[in-house]
Amino acid sequence: MTGMRGLSVFISDIRNCQNKEAERLRVDKELGNVRTCFKNEKVLTPYKKKKYVWKMLYIHMLGYDVDFGHMEAVSLISAPKYPEKQVGYIVTSCLLNENHDFLRLAINTVRNDIIGRNETFQCLALTLVGNIGGRDFAESLAPDVQKLLISSSCRPLVRKKAALCLLRLFRKNPDAINVDGWADRMAQLLDERDLGVLTSSTSLLVALVSNNHEAYSSCLPKCVKILERLARNQDVPQEYTYYGIPSPWLQVKAMRALQYFPTIEDPSTRKALFEVLQRILMGTDVVKNVNKNNASHAVLFEALSLVMHLDAEKEMMSQCVALLGKFISVREPNIRYLGLENMTRMLMVTDVQDIIKKHQSQIITSLKDPDISIRRRALDLLYGMCDVSNAKDIVEELLQYLSTAEFSMREELSLKAAILAEKFAPDLSWYVDVILQLIDKAGDFVSDDIWFRVVQFVTNNEDLQPYAASKAREYLDKIAIHETMVKVSAYILGEYGHLLARRPGCSASELFSILHEKLPTVSTTTIPILLSTYAKLLMHTQPPDPELQKQIWAIFKKYESCIDVEIQQRAVEYFELSKKGAAFMDVLAEMPKFPERQSSLIKKAEDVEDTADQSAIKLRAQQQPSNALVLADPQPVNGAPPPLKVPSVSGSTGPESVARSLSQPNGTLSNIDPQNPSPDLLSDLLGPLAIEGPPGAVSSEQHGPIGAGGAPDEVDGSAIVPVEEQTNTVELVGNIAERFHALCLKDSGVLYEDPYIQIGIKAEWRGHHGRLVLFLGNKNTSPLTSVQALILPPAHLKLELSPVPDTIPPRAQVQSPLEVMNIRPSRDVAVLDFSYKFGTNVVSAKLRIPAVLNKFLQPLQLTSEEFFPQWRSLTGPPLKLQEVIRGVRPLVLPEMANLFNSFHVTICPGLDPNPNNLVASTTFYSESTGAMLCLARIETDPADRTQLRMTVGSGDPTLTLELKEFIKEQLIAIPVGSRALVPAAGPGPGQAPPAVQPPSPVIAADDPGAMLAGLL
Amino acid sequence: MFLSKNPRNRKSNLRLVVNRDAKFTNFVEFRTHKVIYRRYAGLFFSVCVDMTDNELAYLECIHLFVEILDHFFSNVCELDLVFNFHKVYLILDEFILAGELQETSKRAIIERMSELEKLE
């Protein structure tokens, strides 16, 4: 390595850069230089190649993308001499990952190095495979690596690398190691004298036993032997003691391996182990030297875990509890952190509640610690130790902490507080207080579940209703309240506000005016709830108050033409209903009680626990590296209908669903087939979405006639009749293509549904990143097996799907996150190849994933000063493209504007002097383009709406083209499904079967022209 | 010194760690993992481990690595690591493999390094 002056000079240059920009310029210059040299192979000596490859690695370390020269790095691996070969190996391991195609090219060379005679080369090759070897390597190399590991002629140097290399291969493909032949060898390896080889082999063992402890049971006594050897400090060379402690790491690993065996049956082994453990528990003192202290406590904490796992004798357990009690009170932050963490684990193993309670005040102090790591652990422990006796204190503390907690913790905190309040509430009014405080303090982090739940409690407990109503009324006096507070108080006051009628400030018209003050501040999801409340207030005012009626009717009238279908529908329906006297009272009568059932919150908490607490024992038992959560549904098999669904429906979906559920005397939703209820979890998480399919679609063509013709008879008919869900057919529920198209324009909903499974999707988009979660819900009482989900990504997207478990238990839901990154603009669509087995039926489907171009657009409205300079700077092809498009779906301009807005291309009104034209702007995000401004102009011809001229421009030619094509597709697309369904509604709107038309987001269904175009 | 391959992760790790007070724990929870870090003057060494891994064992693992570097460069300083980053990789490859500890004997590693230097 001597004499690599060029490299040192380059590093100095970088270090001397004054700022990031200068550094980037220097890096770009060097990359250009390296690129040119690589092209000119004649002058590229091995020395130069080596130098450039090191430079590339340095640039990569600085965080820059190095997207070329990989081939050169890989090719150095086959160099005959050590210096070049070494560089090739190291740089390849750093720059490439296991999925890289170039790596396959190297497999043969790597294998030759492994089986060859040159020990140095063997080491290099084993290191590469150990660091980045993938499945390909596992299949072809495992036997060779095994040979090296057990070979008596290899130096320990090679063997320890072989052990860890084999570990990597095993992790990539557990079948790479044949258990039958290997278990005995593994046991022999544990007799090794060389502690380097032994340390590596023990790591291998940990992975093997976590997968199959039975096969390796002969290793158990050997682990105990290792511990004895270390504990007694026998045969431990000086160089393997660390601050006087015989290899703390090996001790930790051996104890970790033992935690994968369920018990230790052999009495003498058990005795020997307990002696060692006892010695560790008793003999670990706090010393001044930090390193020594850490090392000995590393061993001590591992011993604690092992004791917990073995569920040792009472005496030893209480020793552990005493130690932990000491640790959670010490000053030293690391030890306190670990004390809190292990105390939480201890709670799951044994009944230590009473002992821990003695430390409650110290734990609460830790909740206020400046270090977030400690606060997190304290929160988990407080949550775990909470019961009826201390719930009030603990929840009080959590609420107090909520005001100061950082954002990253608030969601978890509020969920935990809500759950504890529900689980251990000494009385229900306290519970209502807690939840309202929670919404007040951290509204953004209070999920809908939480306020649905409080509504459910209030509805079911008459005594609570006046109290809840008066509390809700109090919060409304605050100057600024969170939208969730508006929702919950509007709901409660609508239902129970009349119970307060005699109190000052609580008459119907006063309630109305204070609620109505909030309306301008809320979003479109809250307005429907407010409208329902107004209707209820009106209904409760007996005798009618003409002034109030006038005001409310005026509001209903105003929203009758609202662009939001939900709001429009409620406004129209309530307006008509409120003219109907007795029927109005009937329909808007008080909500019926909800059937009792387990809280969805608690279920939700169970998954939070699964990820957050990560009980060592639980986790080690599973050890499957999967992010997907499996939630067993504790509901009885014949499943009561999910009551939470009712508030969720009325909360965020439909007025007609309020009405619908009201028409059922006992609150049972008749659209749930009792034989085959959809899983509760699905309905909780996706409740509003699931329903959005067929029933939500009492779409505007039904309103049209009603509103216009004033034929009120149909109102009840269409709005109130429940819609049966087709659960008993073997066919698909809903149309996949429609579902896909709907999901292209919104971010959550059902992607696929058949009688056995429902796949929901929820997405969040930020710049060129997206995070989707697939919810796979088994709708049946038997498991779905052989579940497979594979993503077939198009070239422009990087997609990473967390593994989906092979089996979905009965009526359980599995969540599988899918990370998306947009690399460059393209209209290609990713496909999910999905299959499963139900009984003997194999069902498979290829589903398009709604990670489409418009998801990477962010709305942006420009002023004319911003728009025109940009527009002019794009001078023509390929950055600016123009096309005359014919066969466009005829849309009037406002509809076209809505269509554009719906896929995040924002119309900038008033910029174009010609009223028949639209100009629009948006920002597109991808890795290659970064955030890029896109502009578009549409020129329409009022005489012929089927053609228009479109101009699209952006700073990237591909983006311009793709965006233009994308918009074109949207303009000429005839949404699937509308053809068949429109005629059904056509003959007589009065007899139209209710809610058969799925919502088709792009069609402007109330435009007769568009419908005609659909028919043609 | 970060042992993460992805520069993006490295950056977010850095942000996570550098603003922490010296009196805080050496552990930060990071998504589904933990970052164990240790500060030596202006240098941060950090490793990302599973939630259930033994925190203190990894904390001392960092220190052992620093001791090895100190031995090898005799009184290591930041510039040694920057200008000899390729050596640091070599040492690291003798110390950790497949994300697991490979060798905990300082002597074994230092001897191995001088063997390798002779080959150059």
Asked if A297's CB is within 8 angstroms of B32's CB, the reply is: no
Q: Domain ranges for chain B, please list them.
A: 7-119
Q: Residue range A253-266: average pLDDT?
A: 94
The percentage of chain A sitting over the pLDDT mark of 70, rounded to a whole number, equals 82
Best mutation target, A294, A340, A408, A611, to test chain B (most B CBs within 10 A)? A294
Q: Are A35 and A68 in contact (CB under 8 A)?
A: yes
Q: What distances in angstroms separate CA A857 from CA A208, A817, A851, A863, A869, one per listed residue?
A: 47, 22, 11, 18, 21
- Supply the pLDDT for residue A607: 57
Say how far apart CA A923 and CA A850 lie, in whole Å. 19
Q: How confident is the model at residue A658 (pLDDT cuts 50, 70, 90)?
A: very low
**Could you tell me the two tokens for A605?**
């908490």
* H-state helical runs in A874-930: 893-902
Residue A858 has which token pair?
């962010």
Q: Closest residue of A to B53, CA-based?
A: A616
Nearest to A333 among B23, B101, B105 (CB): B23
Inform me whether the C-beta atom of residue B25 falls under 8 Å from chain A C-beta atoms: yes
Of B11, B25, B89, nearest to A90 by CB-CB distance is: B89
Helices and strands in chain B: count of H runs, count of E runs = 5, 5
* Residue in chain B nearest A302 by alpha carbon: B54
Structure-block tokens of residue A726: 């087709």
Q: Could you give the CA distance from residue A745 to residue A987 in angstroms, rounded to a whole number?
A: 30
Q: Do B119 and A83 touch (CB under 8 A)?
A: yes
pLDDT tens digits for range A461-490: 888 999 999 999 999 998 889 999 999 999
Q: Tell me which DSSP letter residue A780 carries.
A: S
Which of A4, A64, A239 to mutate against chain B (most B CBs within 10 Å)? Answer: A239
pLDDT of residue B37: 93
Q: What pLDDT score does B8 carry?
A: 53
For residue range A612-623, list pLDDT tens digits in order.
Answer: 333 334 443 333
Tokens of A842: 């194999």
CA closest to B2 among chain A residues = A61
| Interchain proximity B89–A94, CB inside 8 Å | yes
* pLDDT-wise least confident of A255-259, A684-688, B41-45: A684-688
CATH value of B7-119 in 3.40.190.10, 3.30.450.60, 3.40.50.1100, 2.60.120.10 = 3.30.450.60
A195 contacts on B by Cβ (under 8 Å): 104-105
- What pLDDT score does B18 carry? 81
Closest-approach residue (CA) in chain A for B23: A333
Q: Is residue B18 within 8 angstroms of chain A, CB to CB?
A: no
CB distance A240–B104 less than 8 Å?
A: yes
- Record the tokens describing residue A73, joined without a space: 């790095």
Q: Which CATH superfamily is domain A717-851 in?
A: Gamma-adaptin ear (GAE) domain (2.60.40.1230)
Chain A residue at shortest CA distance from B119:
A82
Residues of B in contact with A247 (CB under 8 A): 104
Residue B94 distance to chain A (closest CA, Å): 9
Q: Is the model's pLDDT at A709 over the cut of 80?
A: no
Taking the C-alpha atoms of residue A237 and residue A906, their distance in angstroms, rounded to an integer, is 72
Binding residues of A: 5-6, 47, 51-55
A130, A294, A616 ranked by CB distance to B59: nearest: A294
Q: Which residue of B has its CA nearest to A240?
A: B105
Over residues B43-93, the pLDDT tens digits come to: 889 999 999 999 999 999 999 999 999 999 999 998 999 999 999 999 999
Query: In a mutagenesis test of the B interface, which of A15, A203, A243, A618 is the best target, namely the one with the most B β-carbons within 10 Å?
Result: A203
Helix pair angle (A527-540, A565-577), 10° resolution: 10
Q: What is the pLDDT at residue A1016?
A: 36
The residue type of A634 is: P
Local structure of A976: helix, strand or coil:
coil
pLDDT, tens digit, 9 for 90 and up, residues A746-794:
888 888 888 888 888 888 888 888 888 888 888 877 888 888 888 888 8
B25 to A94: CB separation less than 8 angstroms, yes or no: no
How sure is the predictor about A865, in pLDDT bands with cuts at 50, 70 and 90?
A: confident
In chain B, residues with a C-beta closer than 8 Å to the C-beta of A376 are: 29
Measured in angstroms, the CA of A139 and the nearest CA of chain B are apart by 17
Instruction: Find the residue in A nearest to B90 (Cα).
Output: A90
d(CA A908, CA A440): 37
Q: Does the distance separating the beta carbons of B56 and A63 come in below 8 Å?
A: no
Contact residues, chain A, for B25 at CB < 8 Å: 333-334, 336-337, 371, 373-374
Chain segment A514-569, per-residue pLDDT in tens: 999 999 889 999 999 999 999 999 888 878 888 999 999 999 999 998 889 999 99
Q: Which of B51, B60, B106 sits opposite A614 (nearest CB)?
A: B51
In a mutational test of the B interface, the residue from A58, A99, A204, A242 whose CB has the highest number of chain B CBs within 10 Å is A242
Q: Which of residues 57-86 of B touch A (CB under 8 A)?
A: 57, 59-61, 63-64, 82-83, 85-86
- In this prediction, residue B108 carries a pLDDT of 96
Pick the CATH number of A854-981 from 3.30.310.10, 3.40.50.720, 2.60.120.10, 3.40.50.970: 3.30.310.10
Task: Give the distance from residue A289's alpha carbon to the nearest chain B alpha carbon, in angstroms.
Answer: 12
Q: Quick one: pLDDT at residue A763? A: 86
pLDDT at A728 over 60: no
* Subunit contact A334:B56, Cβ cutoff 8 A: yes
Distance from CA of B116 to the nearest CA of A (A): 8
Question: What's the CA gap between A785 and A782, in Å, rounded?
Answer: 9
pLDDT of residue B15: 76
Mean pLDDT of A925-941: 87
- The phi, psi pair for A750, rounded to 5°, reads -95, 130
The C-alpha of B72 sits at a distance from chain A's nearest C-alpha, in angstroms, of 16
Question: At A840, is the pLDDT very low, low, confident or very high (cuts 50, 70, 90)?
Answer: confident
Distance from CA of B5 to the nearest CA of A (A): 7
**Tens-digit pLDDT profile for residues A392-405:** 999 999 999 988 88
Smallest CA–CA distance, residue B43 to chain A, in Å, is 15
Question: Which among B5, B27, B64 is the nearest to A373, CB-wise?
Answer: B27
Q: What CA–CA distance (Å, rounded) separates A123 from B94?
A: 9
Q: Do the chains contact at A239 and B107, CB–CB below 8 Å?
A: yes
Which member of B28, B57, B86 has the closest CB to residue A298? B57
A to B CB pairs, distance under 8 Å: 163
The tens digit of pLDDT for each residue in A785-824 reads 888 888 888 888 888 888 888 888 777 788 888 888 898 8
pLDDT band at A26 (very low <50, low <70, confident <90, very high): very high
Which residues contact residue A888 at a Cβ distance below 8 angstroms, ignoring those fewer than 6 apart?
A945, A946, A947, A948, A971, A972
**A-chain residues near B89 (CB < 8 A):** 90, 94
The Cα A777–Cα A785 span in angstroms is: 13
Instruction: Give percent above pLDDT 90 in chain A.
Output: 36
Instruction: Give me the residues of B, 83-112, that contact A with CB < 8 A.
Output: 83, 85-87, 89-90, 93, 97-98, 100-108, 112
* Of B20, B82, B104, Cβ closest to residue A249: B104
Q: Say what the pLDDT of residue A348 is.
A: 81
Among residues A144, A116, A142, A110, which one has the least CA distance to residue A128? A110
Smallest CA–CA distance, residue A88 to chain B, in Å, is 12
CA distances from A197 to A155, A168, A301, A487 (A): 10, 16, 24, 64
Q: Between chains, do B86 and A8 touch, taking CB under 8 Å as contact?
A: no
CB-CB contact of B44 with B22 (8 Å): no
Per DSSP, the residues of A659-690 read: HHHHTSTTS--TTS-TTSPPPHHHHHHHHHHH
Quote the CA–CA distance of A1 and A262 in Å, as a whole number: 52
- Residue A961 C-alpha from the chain's centroid: 33
**Using the beta-carbon criterion (under 8 Å), do B25 and A620 form an inter-chain contact?**
no
Residues 31-60 of B with CB under 8 A from A: 32, 51-52, 54-57, 59-60
- Closest residue in A to B56 (Cα–Cα): A298
Would you give the DSSP letter of residue A193? S
Query: Which residue shows structure tokens 């000053």?
Result: A331
